[in-house]
Structure formats: C-alpha cells, structure tokens
Amino acid sequence: MASAIFVPYYAGLDLGQYLFSNISVRDNSPRKLVEFLTKTPEWKKMWGRDHFMVGGWVAWDFRRIRDDDNDGGPSSCAPRPGSPDSIRSELINQCKSSTKNCKFMGCDGSIYHCEKSPEKVMGLFQNSIFCLQPPGDAYTRRSTFDSILDGCIPVFFHPHTAYTQYWRYFPKNYRKYSVFISPNDIKEKWVFISEKLLGVSKEKVLEMREEVIRLISKVIYGDWSTTSAIGRKLEDAFDIAVKGLLERVENVRKKIRDGEDPSEGFAEENKREFDWLWKEVGY
C-alpha cells in the first residue's frame, strides 16, 4: 500500500570503505542488497521503480566507465591544473590580481584547515556579495549551499552546478538569484569576473540577495521538533525531496497502468525539461 519504499542502505558510506579496493570487494555489498531486494514481494510490485535510497555522494562517484580496478576516485587539488576543462586556475589568478574587489581563501595543500575552520569560510561568505562556484570534482558544490545560507549571491559557470540539478528547489528563472558566466568566456579572457560583477546594479544586487534569503529554508533540514507550528509551514529540503520523489514514482505508476514502458525516456526526462536553458546559456 506504500506510495514509495525507502531502502536504508547508505551507498556513500559503503563505497567510502572500499573505493580503492578491487571491483569484487567494491561490488560485494551492493550485489547482496540487490539479491535480497529482488526476492521481496514489495520489489515485484513495480520491479523496484518505487524504491529509493540515500546516496550520500554525488552520482559521478558511483559510476565507472569499465570494469577496471583502476577506475574510480575523483580529481584532487583546488586549481585542477591537470584538467583541460577546468577554469579554476584562471578564476584564482583573476581573483588574486584584483585584491581590492576579490577575497581568495586557498585550501589546496591545507584542505583540513578549511574543513576544520568552517567559521572562516562562512565568515568570508557573509562579508561577500558574490560567491564564485566553479565545478570541482563534480558539477555540484556544497559551497553553493553555504553561500545561500550566508546570503551570498552564487556565481555559476555550468548549468549542472545548480540549474538542472536542483530545479525543484531554486527558481526556474536563474537570473533571480544567481549570475551565470560561460566558462569559455573565462578561458578566452573575454570576461573578467570583477568587471562583470561590478557591472550589476545595486538595485539588482538587493533583489537577488532577497531571493537568495528566501531560498534558505529550502536548502536546510529543519528540526521541527523544536519549531513552532507556524514555522512548519515552510518546506525544507527534506519536504521538497520527498514530494518530488513521490511525484516521480506516481508518474511511473501511471505509465504502467496505461500499458506504457516506464523506462522509456526516464534518463532524458530532466534534459528535455531544460532544453531551453541549454540553448540560452550556450551549451
């Protein structure tokens, strides 16, 4: 009778133990889980399409191109000098050359310093108007949410960093709360960050910061046991995730009832939703 079924298997915790082990070790727990689930009557109702779990890591970390023991594990170091598509080095150089307008906190070589001193990172965001969010090991960034919590306007360089990944949480009109700059413009030095951001009017900055502040409740997990009933009227990140999940499961369930193939177009669903965005930002 359940609308959806939560599987209490935390894939990120499991993968983290065996990321650099051979494939048979890495795949052992997931295979056992699949064997168990496929034998349950709940699974057979929709063949697992109504089951969900918590990944805990970005999806890219769970993928591999081939069954090779050497596959797996993200890139490292802040500038990403070995990645031809990375613009982080150029952004760092631009920031360091414009110390009057840009503050840079370097973490490469001292990553634990940043991790163990979150107050320094958050303090920097609180005292900044714009926060740069270039892709790193993955398109998504935890820093995006830190900046929103501090009322700092995020500056994105790829649609996947926020627009296509978190469309249930953020406004469809991305200009309301963020700035987008094409990475190609950075690589070719057609755009300089300080000039671009200083060109945003004070009125527009105030509007965008107000929108960012309105997003705060959507990117946190509220402790509603200590919150008044009035505060509970706001949807938090958990509410939005579960609501979206149930909608997606119900769409699949309807396809099955109508005799359609529920897997057809499943992976391309979000891509079709954002065709207009890809064209607008030049991808």
Q: Give pLDDT tens digits for 207-219.
A: 999 999 999 999 9
pLDDT value at position 80?
55
**Cα dihedral 213, 159, 125, 210 in deg (nearest 10):** -20
pLDDT value of position 213: 95
Residue 81: per-residue pLDDT: 52
Average pLDDT of the chain?
A: 84
pLDDT tens, residue by residue, 265-276: 666 666 667 777
**What mean pLDDT do residues 32-43 have?**
95
Mean pLDDT of 41-53: 93
pLDDT at 112 over 70: no
Token pair in block for residue 93: 């150089």
Residue 110 pLDDT > 90 = no
- pLDDT above 60: residue 257: yes
CA 165 – CA 172 distance, rounded (Å)? 11
- Tell me the mean pLDDT in the region 250-255: 92
Q: What is the pLDDT of residue 254?
A: 92
pTM: 0.83
114 phi/psi in degrees, rounded to 5: -70, -40
* 156 beta partners: 133, 180
Lowest mean pLDDT among 19-23, 104-108, 142-146, 185-189: 104-108
Highest-confidence range of 12-16, 99-103, 155-159, 163-167, by mean pLDDT? 155-159
Contacts of 69 (CB under 8 A, 6+ apart): 22, 23
The most confident of 38-52, 105-119, 228-242, by mean pLDDT: 38-52
Q: What is the pLDDT of residue 61?
A: 75
52, pLDDT greater than 90: yes
Least confident of 104-108, 162-166, 202-206, 236-240: 104-108
Beta bridge partners of 153: 130
